[in-house]
Amino acid sequence: MPTINYAAKEIQFKIVYCGAALCGKTTNLVYIHSRIAPAHRGDLVSLATAADRTLFFDFLPLSAVILQGFKTKFQLYTVPGQVIYNATRQLVLRNVDGVVFVADSQWDKMEENVESFRNLEQNLQKQSLSLDAVPYVLQLNKRDLQDVAPTNYLQYLLNNRKRRVQSFESIATTGVNVFSTLDAVTQVLLHKFNRERGQLLAVPGGGGR
């Protein structure tokens, strides 16, 4: 659920990058960070653990007013992929507005992808959220590598629910489809927000455009 600050006319959305350890979540954020002008982003904060990292950064968007006169901020997080950090994952997922599930396309990562996806579902359930209700998109990452599974198998593993979500084949290291993924999840999230809560913005501030 986004945070709305009526006084500052600011609205804040939380987007979380999920996926197995080393699938490329951090690489996504590093790339996004590198491409956004410093004036429009905060620092990329990495809370490093021994083998994996949790990242967090604030992002002030270029077009500050996009929703009925409210400045819209996006907080992008990654969750630690390793199984042992589930408590952290749950914390990061709290009040999530949108999810990018990053899949590692390498053949030997298929099981980890599936497990990570299930873990995401379970963690959302713990907050009484269903994946069906959360805006999310799928990113099939590392498509530049040789030993990768066909995308239709990844779709079968990760996108075979009643609701089929958008998916992007990406190369996070070079940035291919990194912003398309972020753009897509943002769109789904804003659509949901407009549908369900858009009227909230209009009430206290009366600030429709």
Binding of residue 28 to Mg ion (CB under 5 A): no
CB of 7 to ligand GDP, least distance (A): 36
DSSP result, 72-89 = EEEEEEE---SGGGHHHH
Binding letters toward Mg ion, positions 38-77, x by CB under 5 A? ---------------x------------------------
Residue type, 177: N
Residue count at the site for other proteins (CB under 8 A)? Answer: 52
* Token code pair at residue 139: 């990113």
Q: Which whole-number Å values give the CA distances from 89 to 62, 78, 133, 146, 191, in the listed order? A: 29, 9, 19, 30, 26
Through-space distance between the first and last CA atoms of the chain, rounded to whole angstroms:
22
Binding of residue 33 to Mg ion (CB under 5 A): no
Do 154 and 105 form a contact (C-beta atoms < 8 A)? yes
Q: Which of residues 104-143 bind Mg ion (CB under 5 A)?
A: none
Whole-number CA gyration radius for the chain: 17
Binding letters toward other proteins, positions 114-153, x by CB under 8 A? xx---------------------------x--xxxxxxxx
Query: Rule CB under 8 A: which residues touch other proteins?
Result: 35-36, 40, 61-63, 66, 72, 74, 107, 110-115, 143, 146-153, 155-157, 159-166, 169, 174-180, 182-183, 186-188, 190-191, 194
